[in-house]
């Protein structure tokens, strides 16, 4: 059964914003105030651990779905399951950003969109914590993280990841081109098993987008406002 939680992700983001007195700072502050006032600061997290049906060479079969994800095969220990997770900020925040653009309040719209990206990053961290806790409760270990569309897992896996995570219960869906909706959403797959060693790789290692990646940049830095 999927575990689902809704958490505040605005407060931790607001606490990281560094005030500099710039115009950007003013809009960031305004965007945070707007998100707080309109209740846009919550994320829904959902995850589920699914036992492996079998491993076909480099293909992991779980829940009736096939994932070509050889990076998750451990050098030692035993891979016994995959953990599927999803996080979403829901429809309200993207719709509010669109409304601000329609009203030609571009700077505030961009600021709210940027705050939304940071909230999704925070949701992603909380999701990882929640999955790790569930894996530990099951007496297992967790190693390796892949996301559909990043190196190591094809974007076409998105629909299967959404299905197996139980993300539909959080209102999350997938378009014909494997994009998530609502827009401010993310999914993830972790390797789960017995005595899995820590991995020495990251999904970002071979990524061509890394030099300009917003996720990497925002994960590493305090937010200059």
In the complex with ligand SF4, which residue's Cβ is closer, 27 or 190?
190
Q: Which stretch binds ligand SF4 (CB under 6 A): 35-43, 55-63, 123-131, 205-213?
A: 205-213
Residue 49 CA to residue 58 CA, distance in Å, equals 20
Residue with the two structure tokens 């940071």: 118
Near ligand SF4 by CB under 6 A: residue from 138, 210, 218, 223? 210
**What track of x and - describes contact with ligand SF4 for positions 127 through 156 (by CB under 6 A)?**
-----------------------xx-----
What does the angle CA 116 – CA 117 – CA 123 come to, to the nearest 5 degrees? 85
Residue 216 CA to residue 106 CA, distance in Å, equals 25
Looking at the chain, which runs of residues are DSSP E strands? 3-8, 17-18, 42-56, 59-62, 65-68, 78-88, 141-146, 173-174, 180-181, 185-194, 223-224
In the complex with ligand SF4, which residue's Cβ is closer, 80 or 178?
178
DSSP 8-state class, residue 207: -
Number of residues that bind ligand SF4 (CB under 6 A): 10
Asked if residues 180 and 172 have their Cβ atoms less than 8 Å apart, the reply is yes
Asked if residues 28 and 111 have their Cβ atoms less than 8 Å apart, the reply is yes
Radius of gyration, CA atoms only, the chain: 18
Q: Which stretch binds ligand SF4 (CB under 6 A): 22-30, 35-43, 84-92, 209-217?
A: 209-217
Q: Is 215 in the site for ligand SF4 (CB under 6 A)?
A: yes
Q: Is 159 in the site for ligand SF4 (CB under 6 A)?
A: no
Q: Is 203 in the site for ligand SF4 (CB under 6 A)?
A: yes
Q: Which stretch binds ligand SF4 (CB under 6 A): 27-35, 84-92, 118-126, 210-218?
A: 210-218
Q: What tokens does 153 get?
A: 């897992």
Residue 70 Cβ vs ligand SF4, minimum distance, rounded to whole Å: 16
Q: Is 207 in the site for ligand SF4 (CB under 6 A)?
A: yes
**Contacting positions for ligand SF4 (CB under 6 A):** 150-151, 203-204, 207, 209-210, 213, 215-216
């Amino acid at each position: 059964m999927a575990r689902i939680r809704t958490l505040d992700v605005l407060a931790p983001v607001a606490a990281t914003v560094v005030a500099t007195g710039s115009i950007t700072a003013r809009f960031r502050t305004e965007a945070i105030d707007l998100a707080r006032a309109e209740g846009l600061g919550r994320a829904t997290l959902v995850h589920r651990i699914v036992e492996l049906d079998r491993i076909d060479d480099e293909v992991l079969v779980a829940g009736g779905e096939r994932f070509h994800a050889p990076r998750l095969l451990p050098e030692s220990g035993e891979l016994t399951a995959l953990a599927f997770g999803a996080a979403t900020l829901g429809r309200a925040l993207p719709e509010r950003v669109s409304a601000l653009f329609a009203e030609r309040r571009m700077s505030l719209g961009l600021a709210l969109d940027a705050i939304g990206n940071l909230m999704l990053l925070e949701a992603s961290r909380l999701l990882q914590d929640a999955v790790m806790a569930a894996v530990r409760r099951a007496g297992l270990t967790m190693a390796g993280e892949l996301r559909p569309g990043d190196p190591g897992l094809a974007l076409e896996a998105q629909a299967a990841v959404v299905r197996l995570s139980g993300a539909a219960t959080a209102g999350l869906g997938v378009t014909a081109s494997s994009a998530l909706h609502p827009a401010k959403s993310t999914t993830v797959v972790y390797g789960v098993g017995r005595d899995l060693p820590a991995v020495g790789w990251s999904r970002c290692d071979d990524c061509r987008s890394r030099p300009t990646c917003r996720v990497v940049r925002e994960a590493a830095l305090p937010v200059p406002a």
